[in-house]
Chain A
Amino acid sequence: DAEITQSPRHKITETGRQVTLACHQTWNHNNMFWYRQDLGHGLRLIHYSYGVQDTNKGEVSDGYSVSRSNTEDLPLTLESAASSQTSVYFCASSESVTTTGELFFGEGSRLTVL
Chain B
Amino acid sequence: AQSVSQHNHHVILSEAASLELGCNYSYGGTVNLFWYVQYPGQHLQLLLKYFSGDPLVKGIKGFEAEFIKSKFSFNLRKPSVQWSDTAEYFCAVHSSASKIIFGSGTRLSIRP
Q: Which residues of A contact B (CB under 8 A)?
A: 33, 35, 40-45, 48, 58, 90, 92, 97-98, 101-103, 105-108
A98 touches B104 (CB 8 A): no
Question: Any chain A CB within 8 A of the CB of B14?
Answer: no
Question: Is the pair B100, A103 in contact by a Cβ cutoff of 8 Å?
Answer: yes
Q: Which residues of chain A are within 8 angstroms of B99 by Cβ–Cβ distance?
A: 33, 45, 48, 58, 97
Please state if A90 and B51 are interface contacts (CB–CB under 8 Å). no
Task: Write the residues of chain B forming the contact surface with A, with a CB cutoff of 8 angstroms.
Answer: 6, 9, 32, 34, 36, 42-46, 49, 51, 90, 94, 99-105
A45 touching B101 in the complex, CB below 8 Å, given contacts A90-B43, A101-B51, A103-B46: yes
Contacts of A40 in B (CB 8 A): 9, 104
Shortest Cβ distance from B9 into A: residue: A40
Within the complex, the shortest CB–CB distance from B71 to chain A, in Å, comes to: 21
Residues of B within 8 A of A44 (CB): 102
Say how far B95's CB is from chain A's closest CB, in angstroms.
10
Which among A33, A42, A90, A101 is the interface contact of B34 at CB below 8 angstroms? A101
A97 closest partner in B (C-beta): B94
A102 to chain B, nearest CB (A): 5
Contacting residues, chain B, for A48 (C-beta < 8 A): 99
Indicate whether A90 sits within 8 Å of B44 (C-beta atoms), given known contacts A43-B90, A97-B32, A101-B51.
yes
